[in-house]
Amino acid sequence: MNDAVLSLREVRKSYREADGNRLDVIQVGQFELAAGDQIALVGSSGSGKSTLLNLIAGILLPDAGVVCVNGTDITQLPEAKRDRFRAGNIGYVFQSFNLLQGFTALENVRLGQMFGNGTGDAVELLKKVDLAHRLHHKPRALSVGEQQRVAIARALVNAPALVLADEPTGSLDAANGTAVLELLRQVCTEGRHTLLMVTHDPAVMRHFERVVRLEELR
């Protein structure tokens, strides 16, 4: 194993469709990210971006290939260990936030923390994403931009080596989208977290020095 934070080798994933045929979605030959890398991975809608992130997070298993995060081939871990590994090593930010509606901003971040090593400081992170005044608000009482900032704090609270973001600005207007994007990049830079963001939005790509197209990975 080398010291790449993320390393993919010959990863294949297909889905079985209703008519019984297989739909080949992911074919990645080789792909690596090092500590502190920040890249935008782009592809059109339906090209397999979310599928690839779910393979990297160990939410989905590939049909073939190796997915190494911090030197661990997560495809070889049984499900419970994979879940625990994800909680401690990977932060995931979704387009639709996926916050628990019955819990406050602070509770949402603390819940994320509980599944990891528990060492992060939830209040400190919420301050960092400019939500010190919103700790005890539930998601419905927050703007969409604020909700996504809670989700960013939750994703970062266990200081994950790898941060995955699936079109995180897709539900936000342009101004909020830019703010969230720059915030996510800034906290990843400060903590030297590797950031892999998928998007189909040219306005998002322009924020990244490194842009990789999904089809280039074959």
Q: For residues 50 and 104, which CB has a smaller minimum distance to Mg ion in the complex?
A: 50
Q: For residues 3 and 79, which CB has a smaller minimum distance to ligand ADP in the complex?
A: 79
User: Within 10 Å of residue 80's Cβ, how many Cβ atoms?
Assistant: 8
Per the document, the length of the chain is 218
Cβ pair 204, 197 in contact under 8 A: yes
Q: For residues 36 and 170, which CB has a smaller minimum distance to ligand ADP in the complex?
A: 170
Smallest gap from Cβ 166 to Mg ion, in A, equals 6
Q: For residues 123 and 205, which CB has a smaller minimum distance to Mg ion in the complex?
A: 205
Judged by CB under 6 A, how many residues of this single chain contact ligand ADP?
Answer: 11
Q: For residues 162 and 198, which CB has a smaller minimum distance to Mg ion in the complex?
A: 198
Cβ pair 159, 194 in contact under 8 A: no
Q: Does 169 bind Mg ion (CB under 5 A)?
A: no
Q: For residues 43 and 120, which CB has a smaller minimum distance to ligand ADP in the complex?
A: 43
Q: Which does 168 bind (CB under 5 to 8 A by kind): Mg ion, ligand ADP, none?
A: none
For residues 40 to 79, the per-residue mask of contacts with Mg ion, x marking binding by CB under 5 A and - elsewhere, is ---------xx-----------------------------
Q: Which does 62 bind (CB under 5 to 8 A by kind): ligand ADP, Mg ion, none?
A: none
Cβ pair 203, 173 in contact under 8 A: no
Judged by CB under 5 A, how many residues of this single chain contact Mg ion?
Answer: 2
For residues 29 to 68, the per-residue mask of contacts with ligand ADP, x marking binding by CB under 6 A and - elsewhere, is --------------x-xxxxxxx-----------------
Smallest gap from Cβ 154 to Mg ion, in A, equals 20
CA dist 81 and 137 (Å) reads 33
Residues lying near ligand ADP in the complex (CB under 6 A) are found at 15, 23, 25, 43, 45-51
Residues lying near Mg ion in the complex (CB under 5 A) are found at 49-50
